[in-house]
Chains A and B, each alone.
Chain A
Amino acid sequence: MVHMGVRVQTEDFDVGAEITAMRLSSANIGAVVSFVGQVRDLNDGDNVDSMFLEHYPGMTEKALAEIIAQVKVRWSITDALIVHRVGELKPQDQIVLVLVATAHRQEAFEACECIMDHLKTDAPFWKKEQTQHGLRWVEAKTSDEDARHRWKSTT
């Protein structure tokens, strides 16, 4: 059974429950790799009290589904899931979950990292932080572009 799902939600997610559901969906699965992103309390030297995540409803889901579709072409994937939260978040809140299930671990590790690198540059999310100096939009990092591009050279 192939799920290949994306979810954009304000609610928190249960990593354990998501892994169990994916793991048990097929006996062909030999490896599940997970990535969990967490909101930090420090960014660019300033304390972050909270952040707000804006997104582009409609495009966000499409962009995430396309990222999974691209990764599927490159690696043999049994299942993949992206859950991304939006709205108000606090330090140590979970913000993003990526799960990849494959027969063997190497493909799951690589595909999971590739999904995150593409999510960072291609999915329409924007973070606005509340710091001790007030509200500010988070600036995109060129290192994220570099991380995404390294997957191109070996395609």
Chain B
Amino acid sequence: MAEQPILQVRDMKKHFNVGGGRILKAVDSFSIDIARGETFGLVGESGCGKSTAGRTIIRLYNATSGQVLFNGEDIHKLSGKKLKQFNRNMQMVYQDPYASLNPRMTVGNIIAEGIDIHGLYTGAKRRARVMQLLSDVGLNEEHANRFPHEFSGGQRQRIGIARALAIEPQFIIADEPISALDVSVQAQVVNLFKKLQKDHGLTYLFIAHDLAMVKHISDRIGVMYLGNLVEVTSSQDLYAKPLHPYTESLLSAIPIPDPEIERRRERIILEGEVPSPLNPPSGCPFRTRCPKAMPECAAAKPVLKEVEPGHHVACHLY
């Protein structure tokens, strides 16, 4: 029997009531399995629900419906001690390294906050653990007594990563962890993520809009559009043979840093913009911009199905 996936998300929905009887369906159909030790990339444009999906998985939001199973246990049913235990196992790294660190706390205390909450170490052991974490993320011991404003963006992101690692989680959700950083620093942080995964056997859910970077770091990728997962496959397959028309146009929109290729390339330029999630189109959410839309696309919403081994797509063409 195959090993049980570390995370199984079953038809998760997250709807927000925005008043006036209107419902914003931020995440409307979302099912994934993530295997232990895997990096799963989640991509999509702003407002597609990728961050909400991440936050609902870690239970910063309660799901409207559906299940999130972590090691086989539904985390949206946990409470008390069991919830605290789960919180130890899943941690988050945020996008903005300026806003996500408390400016009044020293770096040492920021990193050790989780250790204190979970009562893991005290005194000299706590100190030793903080030093270990600092060196794991490429900072040094003297940094522990400084405050966040003394650090550059890349260094702050390292502090955020050390904080997430402090309580030895199995699973880390990284929500746009590099988008606020300069290109040369992005590579430093991405390489750090990869090294930590190897050293600590971590599983990642890596949320970003930069498809080239997501493809670089991920084993598998899920593409979201307007609250729905429209395609899931290995990162090599996604580039080599995208099936969903949205994935195709997304890939074609990304410029490649190679002038000769750019001169030869034919672009699929999507018309219009993403519809409002308050008033999504009937049937397939992408049909209003889809170059291949058919009459049935307006009638029924396509479900995510496996059309080739390991390659899932939600589209009436398949």
B is bound to A? no
